[in-house]
Amino acid sequence: HIGSPQHRLGPGKKKKACAGGDSTRRRPSHARLRACAMDVVLELFDAFVLDRVYANLLPLSSAVSPFDPVSTIAASLKALVDVNATYDVAEAAAAARGPFAPSGWQYEPASSWFSVPPSEYAWLSRWDRDNVWRQCLSLYMITVLSGTVIYFFCATLSYLFVFDHDTFKHPKYLKNQIRLEIQQAVTSIPIIAVMTVPFFVAEVRGRSFIYDTVADPGFSHPMLTIFGQSWNYIQFGFFLLFTDGCIYWIHRGLHHPLIYKHLHKPHHKWIMPTPYASIAFHPLDGYAQSLPYHIFPFIFPLQKFAYVALFTFIQIWTVIIHDGEYVANSPIINGAACHTMHHLYFNYNYGQFTTLWDRLGGSYRKPNMELFIKETKMSKAEWERQTKEMETIVKEVEGEDDRSYGPPERLAKKKIQ
């Protein structure tokens, strides 16, 4: 490749091998201490998208300064229009900074299970992959993008194939509710991402107990000493139990009168939530309830692919408990029926995954059996019972109910006709 490290060496020349193996597998300059799940995600985005973006926006060229926005934008536009402009920058960088890896960065696969060899663009930016500012910006964009895509993908699938659309007729369904839920979610995601990126950056820079394999050199933890290889399986249940307990107390704390009206009330605006309410939070509320997930790998070991799988599961689970399809009539699982009780009656069922902490904390409320019977789930009698009790509790918790109820516009027009 023109502009790649090998090309810049010239014909017939070989790379100097680093001690301990091939130079392309040397450790990065900041000496990563441990493996990290976000390393995998970041490597994929870097390899397929971000290396080229940063090479164009902040090229290794003495004529362009990252602190000179005019010249940077001009060079970026030229590079985006003319691909050869990027190669010219590469040649200039090679001449000015030496023949091999002018940025000083060296590629190291994010996982022993697979690798994505970088293209020449990985060496052509002032901000190489180990630059902390690049990592912050990249992880922020990835968090916002992935959070938004997963939210819409899962919520829309649930809305189309699982959600009971008779919910629109419920007397406590809000006017334009789905639009309001989406608006709350998409405005909160970028703000929550700002607050969670420091955790991801710390993980990428090796400050957590996320690991690739339990045999990783220099990696140890008391849990691995106790459980050994079994921890690879135990970690899933332990993660759910730990985060479930933490979220219970955080969620219950958000219902304190001094906090509720400022932070948690926006999520309780939805008495009969749809799947789009899954992350329709005030940003600080959503961040507070996500903290246990981010704190866990700084206390306990977590395999990096298990980390990705668990975070994906959390997104899906959050949609499931808001989809109004009452499948899990379980004394253990805190499913959609339990969470509907929470949205209707406020001070019950604070748990995320199980009913354990609600039972221990005296806040468990068994879902009405009518919810599990098709003929009574959406019956007028059940709705009237829910409405009567809900209105009483709203007065106690919020005082005046300032919600605006009504069916979706298309149903209202149909009713008039």
What are the tens digits of pLDDT across the range 351-376? 999 999 999 999 999 999 999 998 89
- Least trusted range by pLDDT, from 30-34, 168-172, 272-276, 283-287: 30-34
Cα distance between residue 365 and residue 348, in whole Å: 6
Q: Which of 57-71, 130-144, 166-180 has the lowest mean pLDDT?
A: 57-71
Task: Tell me the pLDDT band of 35, cut-offs 50, 70 and 90.
Answer: low
Report the alpha-carbon distance of residue 350 to residue 254 in Å, rounded: 10
Residue 315 has pLDDT above 90, yes or no: yes
The predicted pLDDT at position 38 comes to 80
- CA 211/CA 301 separation, integer angstroms: 7
Please enumerate in sequence order all residues whose Cβ is within 8 A of that of 365, keeping only pairs 6 or more positions apart, or say none. 338, 341, 345, 348, 349, 358
CA distances in angstroms from 67 to 57, 99, 128, 130, 219, listed in the order given: 11, 26, 16, 19, 39
Reported as a single tens digit per residue, the pLDDT across 268-279 is: 999 999 999 999
Q: What is the pLDDT of residue 187?
A: 98
pLDDT at 105: 80
Position 74 scores a pLDDT of: 54
Query: What pLDDT sits at residue 115?
Result: 86
Query: Which residues are within 8 A (CB) of 403 and not within 5 positions of it... i.e. 6 or more apart?
Result: 172, 174, 269, 271
Provide the mean pLDDT of the chain.
84
Least confident of 79-93, 236-250, 251-265, 326-340: 79-93
Q: Which pLDDT band, with edges at 50, 70 and 90, does 238 fall under?
A: very high
For 381-417, the pLDDT digits (tens) are: 999 999 999 999 999 999 999 999 987 655 544 443 3
